[in-house]
Amino acid sequence: MSPDQSARDYDFATQAIRAGQPFDATTGSVIPPVYLTTTFVQDGIGGFRNGYEYTRGGNPTRTALEEQLAALEGADRGFSFASGLAAEDSLLRAILKPGDHVLMGNDVYGGTHRLVNRVHVPWGVGLDTVEMGDLDAVRAAIRPGTRVVWLETPSNPLMKITDVAAVAEIAHAAGALVVVDNTFATPYLQQPLALGADVIVHSTTKYLGGHSDVLGGAVVLNGGIEVDGEDLADKVGFIQFGVGAVSAPLDAWLTTRGIKTLHVRMDRHSANAQALAEALVGHPKLARVYYPGLPEHPGHELAARQMRSFGGMLSVELHDEAAARRFAESTQLFQLAESLGGVESLVCYPSEMTHASVRGTALEVSPAIVRLSVGIEGASDLVSDVLDTLDRV
Ligand SMILES: *Cc1c(COP(=O)(O)O)cnc(C)c1O
């Protein structure tokens, strides 16, 4: 399947498996080979075969992943990086110059806030955070120099839902670009470009890779977005090549393999998380359950409109810090670890783990919150694990 217009008519599942995956013309190998090479022989000086010259600039295994990513987000161009943060940094460098301003949700991934706050702010960029669900607050926080409005929905760890179309309307009226970090939802559950966003970023380390065995990141967008007289996609491509935080061929291949089952995994992640959330509502040891699939969640109706289902991430608030710590350290199937989105269930204590970098800032997370990345093991085993653990804390 080539990345032409007709490919866009295929179902998501077909694209996940087939986009960027033509069989090998030389051998008939159904799976395209992993091109573990740094360089490519030239047919005479400058005679590149299919444009390949040196792997930092391009490698067929990375191209396969980039075509797959673009197809799944319904975009023209995909760029794959060594990590989610490398992707974010390359995108921001392509857009920003000193004096520009970034407006971010007050609950974005801690590392994203740290990247801008500790790397781009000292370089002369302005940064503010805002409650993205409060559209008046978003309008008020946009300044003449605002170039980027950056949001995550569902957010981490409180699963807040942002109206992508409404924020895009406000940002576009002010001449700013909307970047959506679509890591939690994945393109299977949510298509931010169709909702009006300009650029998607991913930590492919999470659900896209899906097996907790490969780090990666992506920038996905359409051509035709002009930034300082240049096409933004071309600028991202230049920084990917010129700075070099690319994904290695084997990493790209593992990510591609993971993506082929994304739709099947996400259906199960959502079903398991929904079952767990419903089993936990009203539990006496919990002050609150944060899951957008629950009707009482404040973003439930918006999420139902914006997403295919509600995803595999769920947070709970215990009655105090001590109970939260005991809970996070006592589950059996849910393993205490950073990260999320793998087939195996993980538990995380955000205030000292994923969100340690934002302690003391507006993004600080309550010490009574515990986050669960609900895997695709048997739902009843996962529910029993959490209920048994709550009995003991
Ligand atoms: C993990 C994560 C990132 C950072 O990605 P890395 O691959 O760890 O660099 C960015 N955004 C979200 C939502 C994440 O969960």
72-109 pLDDT, tens digit per residue, is 999 999 999 999 999 999 999 999 999 999 999 998 99
- List the CATH number of the domain containing 324: 3.90.1150.10
- 8 Å CB contact between 386 and 280: yes
| C-alpha 275 to ligand 1 mean position (Å) | 26
Q: Is the CB of 102 under 6 A from ligand 1?
A: no
Q: Is the CB of 84 under 6 A from ligand 1?
A: yes
| Residue whose token pair is 């269930």 | 345
pLDDT band at 7 (very low <50, low <70, confident <90, very high): low
Q: Is the CB of 35 under 6 A from ligand 1?
A: no
315 and 248 co-located in one domain: no
182 and 101 co-located in one domain: yes
Cα diameter, the chain: 74
| Residue whose token pair is 């801690």 | 110
151 and 294 co-located in one domain: no
pLDDT band at 377 (very low <50, low <70, confident <90, very high): very high
pLDDT above 70 (res 1): no
Domain boundary among 243, 259, 275: 259
Cα 107 from Cα 104, distance rounded (Å): 8
- 8 Å CB contact between 153 and 306: yes
Query: Mean pLDDT across the stretch 117-145?
Result: 97
Cα 308 from Cα 312, distance rounded (Å): 12
| C-alpha 240 to ligand 1 mean position (Å) | 18
State pLDDT tens for residues 178-237: 999 999 999 999 999 999 999 999 999 999 999 999 999 999 999 999 999 999 999 999
Backbone angles phi, psi at 290, to 5 degrees: -105, 100
Q: How far apart are the first and last CA of the chain?
A: 53
Domain boundary among 237, 259, 281: 259
- Residue 379 confidence (pLDDT): 98
Cα 116 from Cα 121, distance rounded (Å): 6
pLDDT band at 359 (very low <50, low <70, confident <90, very high): confident
The answer for residues whose C-beta is within 8 angstroms of residue 383's C-beta and 6 or more apart is 275, 276, 279
271 and 386 co-located in one domain: yes
Mutate-to-test residue for ligand 1 from 203, 215, 363, 373, highest number of ligand atoms within 8 A of CB: 203
Mutate-to-test residue for ligand 1 from 160, 162, 190, 206, highest number of ligand atoms within 8 A of CB: 206
Cα 128 from Cα 140, distance rounded (Å): 11
pLDDT band at 3 (very low <50, low <70, confident <90, very high): very low
Domain boundary among 230, 259, 288: 259
State pLDDT tens for residues 230-254: 999 999 999 999 999 999 999 999 9
109 and 142 co-located in one domain: yes
Contacts 24+ apart (CB under 8 A), 134-140: 135/163, 135/166, 135/167, 135/170, 138/103, 138/167, 138/170, 138/171, 139/170
- Residue 275 confidence (pLDDT): 98
269 and 244 co-located in one domain: no
15 and 156 co-located in one domain: yes
Q: Is the CB of 357 under 6 A from ligand 1?
A: no
Q: Is the CB of 255 under 6 A from ligand 1?
A: no
State pLDDT tens for residues 261-314: 999 999 999 999 999 999 999 999 999 999 999 999 999 999 999 999 999 999
The answer for residues whose C-beta is within 8 angstroms of residue 251's C-beta and 6 or more apart is 82, 214, 215, 216
- Percentage of the chain surpassing pLDDT 70? 98
Cα 323 from Cα 338, distance rounded (Å): 19
- 8 Å CB contact between 202 and 85: no
Mutate-to-test residue for ligand 1 from 69, 80, 85, 190, highest number of ligand atoms within 8 A of CB: 85
| C-alpha 85 to ligand 1 mean position (Å) | 6
R_g over Cα of the chain: 21
Whether the bond into 187 is cis, omega within 30 of 0: no
- Residue 166 confidence (pLDDT): 98
244 and 269 co-located in one domain: no
| C-alpha 83 to ligand 1 mean position (Å) | 8
At residue 168, the 3 state secondary structure works out as helix
251 and 287 co-located in one domain: no
| Residue whose token pair is 């997370």 | 365
Sequence letter at residue 130:
V
268 and 250 co-located in one domain: no
Q: Is the pTM of this model over 0.85?
A: yes
- 8 Å CB contact between 243 and 291: no
Task: Look up the domain containing 315 and give its range.
Answer: 262-392
Q: Is the CB of 373 under 6 A from ligand 1?
A: no
- Residue 364 confidence (pLDDT): 87
| C-alpha 216 to ligand 1 mean position (Å) | 9
Looking at per-residue pLDDT, the higher value among 358 and 241 belongs to 241
- 8 Å CB contact between 380 and 322: no
179 and 292 co-located in one domain: no
- List the CATH number of the domain containing 233: 3.40.640.10
At residue 137, the 3 state secondary structure works out as helix
245 and 278 co-located in one domain: no
What domain count does the chain have? 2
| Dihedral sign for Cα atoms in the order 1, 237, 213, 254 | positive
Mutate-to-test residue for ligand 1 from 152, 180, 186, 205, highest number of ligand atoms within 8 A of CB: 205
The residues annotated with a catalytic role in the active site are: 56, 109, 181, 206
- 8 Å CB contact between 22 and 70: no
How are beta strands 369-373 and 346-348 bridged, if at all?
antiparallel
Protein residue with least CA distance to atom 12, ligand 1: 109
Whole-number mean pLDDT of the chain? Answer: 96
Q: Is the CB of 156 under 6 A from ligand 1?
A: yes
Query: Mean pLDDT across the stretch 22-51?
Result: 97
- Residue 8 confidence (pLDDT): 61
- Residue 242 confidence (pLDDT): 98
Protein residue with least CA distance to atom 4, ligand 1: 84
Between the alpha carbon of residue 245 and those of residues 215, 216, 237, the distances in Å are: 12, 10, 11
Backbone angles phi, psi at 314, to 5 degrees: -145, 140
